Amino acid sequence: MIDKPLSPEPVVKVVKYFPEPFKNVIATARTCYSSKGIIKDEEIDINKYIDLAKSIYEAGHHTTFQHAYFQFAIENVSRYFIWSFLHSHPFYNSEQVSQRYVEVKPGNYFIPPLEGKALEIYISTIEFQNESYKKLTELLLPVVENEYYLRFPARRFNSEKYKKDIKRKAQEIARYVLPIATFAYLYHTVSAITILRYYKLCNQFDIPLEQRIVANKLIDEILRVDPNYKIVLEKPIDEHELVEFNFVQNLNDDNLSKEFADEFDKSLNGKISLLVDYKPNAEKILADSVREIFGLPSTALSDDEAINLVLNPAINKILAESLVLTTHSKISRAMFHVSYTFKKKLSHTADSQDQRHRMTPGSRPILMRQISDEPDFITPSLILQSDSALKLYTETMERIWESIGKLKKLGVPSEFALYLLPNAVSIRFTESGDLLNLHHKYAMRLCFNAQEEIWRASFEEVQQISEVHPKIGNFLLPPCSIRNLANIKPICPEGPRFCGVKVWRLKLNEYSRLI
């Protein structure tokens, strides 16, 4: 079997970078011990400091490698790869093409090194998924149109103007049938140390072939900019040296994935996201932390007053700033001490957005370990409003799993067969976050413009936090409600993207949406 995809190879180009970045590694390291002030890059003769570079790298003093950033333009990479590898850690910034707003064209997908009958099944299944995407978009248009004009009744009189908006909302749901093999393009900005980490771990699960190709191209690009990175470049860890690989190889796979899924789903008790752990004394800890900031005893500032001081946007107006200043605000940092842990079940497409909240990290799965022979997917609420859409959706899912089963019987490894999985495939994992970062996440995801599935998960989480910590949950709100409490105008920060619902007038139990 050839060791490269049949589809166009990933394109990786560095487009912005520090000049002479490796000299900066030495300059920053020497500055730490300099009695003469800042050491400049141009003062560095690399040949004199090769041993120093190796020494600080091998000792794990990697902050010196984090100053130099590289911005890459990346094309022809699968959404599977982005989810599993590029966005699986917190130390990056990406802007990628949106499937919510940009129509997906046929032919833009990863094709692994297959041949014969296996290749035929793979391509025909993806073509079928693309056709289902088109048909589903059309079937959903009347449902979306009805919901859209219920929300914006006046726009019905200028319906031609809003056809594009309506189609986009239909596409947003129809994309659930598209394969995670679908290509994306993006800007991706990381430090040199992150690129070195990518390279060393490129043989790990889930999709080592695509990971190796991209990691090698990333390394080639930074070596083109500055060959001195070879001084510290390590070889990738072989898959046989990775604990996940060895453990999976020794598993007796008697339908354990199905048993796991059933057990996990039963524990959720019908929820998308279940609160499974929290600090019982969170409200007291939060209040104590606020008092410590001001050097006050409890006799001078009660728990209620302290919590109100930090969480009420009418008082702490920092919370209403779009620049997100909480990490830099002394009082807001008291929120770090409160944390929550959730068990979650999301679609791949919703989780791809959820994981962008890098400061609320999750332990996401080796995907092949959660996939059984039975279709296992999320059905968006909107699809349930149309019998014809639901029928097509369900039939599409059954066909996808049938094709994956055929590929496996032909000996195709799971690494390649699972590229056919739809965006709708269920992802089960645990996620934790502190209150400061959850506050920001909920402000973004309780907005009615947020993707509906992740909105619903956030809604459930805030409901559960409110049950155990009502003084905290009372202030977990969408941006319009926060701005309303802070008396900031306009109340909705979205301008022409206003969702059409005056959410700031609603209580949490009154929130409801389909689009």
CA distance 76 to 511: 39
pLDDT at position 125: 98
DSSP helix/strand/coil, 75: strand
Sheet of strand 69-78: strand arrangement? 11-17, 69-78, 183-191, 93-96
User: Largest Cα–Cα distance of the chain, in whole Å?
Assistant: 78
Beta bridge partners of 339: 434
What Rg do the C-alpha atoms of the chain give, in angstroms?
25
CA distance 118 to 329: 57
- Which residue is it, tokens 């400091």? 49
**334, two tokens:** 């008291």
CA distance 142 to 361: 38
- Which residue is it, tokens 């409003």? 385
CA distance 135 to 305: 56
**DSSP code of residue 202:** T
pLDDT at position 103: 83
**284, two tokens:** 């007291």
Contacts 24+ apart (CB under 8 A), 280-286: 282/337, 282/338, 282/339, 282/435, 282/469, 282/472, 283/307, 283/469, 283/471, 283/472, 285/337, 285/338, 286/310, 286/334, 286/335, 286/337, 286/338, 286/435, 286/472
pTM for this model (two decimals): 0.96
pLDDT at position 54: 98
pLDDT at position 104: 85
Q: What is the mean pLDDT of each run of 10 residues along the chain (515 residues)?
A: 86 98 98 96 97 97 98 98 98 94 87 98 98 98 97 94 95 98 98 99 98 99 98 98 95 88 98 98 99 99 99 98 97 99 99 97 98 97 98 99 98 98 99 99 98 98 99 98 98 96 97 95
pLDDT at position 102: 83
- Residue 14 makes CB contacts below 8 A (sequence gap 6+) with 70, 71, 72, 221, 222, 224, 225
Q: How many CB atoms lie within 10 A of CB 223?
A: 13
pLDDT at position 101: 77
First to last CA, the chain: 45
pLDDT at position 2: 58
Specify whether the CB–CB gap between 114 and 412 falls below 8 A.
Answer: yes
How buried is residue 474: exposed, middle or buried, by Cβ count under 10 Å (0-12/13-18/19+)? Answer: middle
Specify whether the CB–CB gap between 275 and 463 falls below 8 A.
Answer: no
CA distance 412 to 74: 27
Closest CA to 418 of 377, 371, 376: 371
| CATH number belonging to the domain at 11-101+181-249, selected among 3.30.1360.170, 1.20.1440.130, 3.30.67.10, 3.40.50.300 | 3.30.1360.170
Q: Cis peptide leading into 41, omega within 30 of 0?
A: no
So where are the chain's domains?
11-101+181-249, 116-180+384-419
DSSP 368-409: GGG--SS--B---GGGGG-HHHHHHHHHHHHHHHHHHHHHHH
Specify whether the CB–CB gap between 177 and 132 falls below 8 A.
Answer: yes
3-state secondary structure 20-43: CHHHHHHHHHHHCCCCCCCCCHHH
CA distance 203 to 210: 10
Phi and psi torsions of 514, nearest 5°: -115, -30
